[in-house]
Amino acid sequence: MCSQLMAKARASVRETLAATSPLELVRRLATIALGCAILTFGMHNIHQVVGITEGGVLGGILLLNHWFGIDASVASPLLDIVCYTVGLFVLGAGFLGWSAVSSVLLALFYALWERLPHLLPNLSAHPLVAAILGGMFVGVGAGLVVRCNASAGGDDALALSIHKVFGLKLARCYLFTDLTVLVLSLSYIPLTKIAFSIVTVFISSPIIDFVQGFGRGDASAPSGSLGGTKALSSEE
């Protein structure tokens, strides 16, 4: 199963690279790398320290890290593989492409930050500040990745699969995955901190929309999710 998914991902990446000019390739790789760096920096230095979680895959990473001690650099690709496997059978391999690239970069940056001391002050005594800053880091980082038609998590594949199978609005599919993880996170995070997590989600979502659409003349630029923070689709 995993080898089939990886083979599909490699084929999709090759097709994507072949259809992209060298200059555009460098620009996209740099933008995705910057987005992944910002996103993981905020997750590692704010969310994990303060105990503010996310919905979706990002929240799942924190959940696995807390209960099973699984490093984010391992949990991130593990959860992505599960979600992308579902997407592979429901959606086909076409959506993989740049998302496979961003998933690798996410894991690499998680590994980098985990080998360094925390680079921001401990904001545990100021959870609202942490929620706002965390939402900004996730929003900007996620927005840069989405701007390049990629995804830094398997949420897109999972939500789109639910959307296709059950015919629900895409926004409701994202909301379902977010709320599921947030409810599970109550097993180790107090309700008050979950409330701050909701603040993070509401802050990051419009930032994702702004970053991915900045400087673009039309509204057709792709909008999606990065972990639990996504711009809710206005379709349907």
Q: Residue 112 and residue 107: Cα distance in Å, rounded?
A: 9
Element (H, E) at 185: helix 170-185
- State the pairing for strand pair 229-230/225-226: antiparallel
Q: Cα–Cα distance between 145 and 104 in angstroms, integer?
A: 13
- Which of 36-50, 52-66, 83-97, 136-150 has the highest mean predicted lDDT (pLDDT)? 36-50
**Where in the chain are the domains?**
2-230
pLDDT in tens, 88-146: 788 776 667 777 788 789 889 989 998 999 999 999 899 899 999 998 998 899 889 87
pLDDT single digits (tens) 168-198: 875 577 678 878 888 888 888 888 878 888 8
The predicted pLDDT at position 194 comes to 84
Q: Supply the pLDDT for residue 136.
A: 93
**pTM of structure:** 0.71
